[in-house]
Amino acid sequence: MHLPFVTAQFHKPDVHLPGKHELASATEAVRAQLPEPGQALFYGGLAAGVALSLLEWPVALAIGVGTAVIGRERHE
């Protein structure tokens, strides 16, 4: 397209789509960071307690962080 004093150029974007191997390694990396089902249920219970105003959020945060720190020390 040519207009006086203006030239527009359109380019096809260069998009890289991941292959099966890249998706598999990304999936494994995410799974390694997720908590176990029991831990997820515990943290979900804390979140539900805050949402239902059974716990104040600073208390739930302290319980969650404390549990995570103790769990990591046991795991290592």
pLDDT at site 3: 64
pLDDT at 9: 83
| Three-state DSSP string of the chain | CEECCEECCCCCCCCCCCCHHHHHHHHHHHHHHCCCHHHHHHHHHHHHHHHCCCCCHHHHHHHHHHHHHHHHHHHC
1 CB contacts (<8 Å, ≥6 apart)?
Answer: 7, 8
Q: What average pLDDT does the structure give for the chain? A: 88
Kindly report whether the global pTM for this prediction surpasses the value 0.75.
Answer: no
Q: What is the pLDDT of residue 76?
A: 65
| Residue in this structure with the two tokens 């890289």, named with its chain if needed | 16
Paired tokens of 42:
């515990």
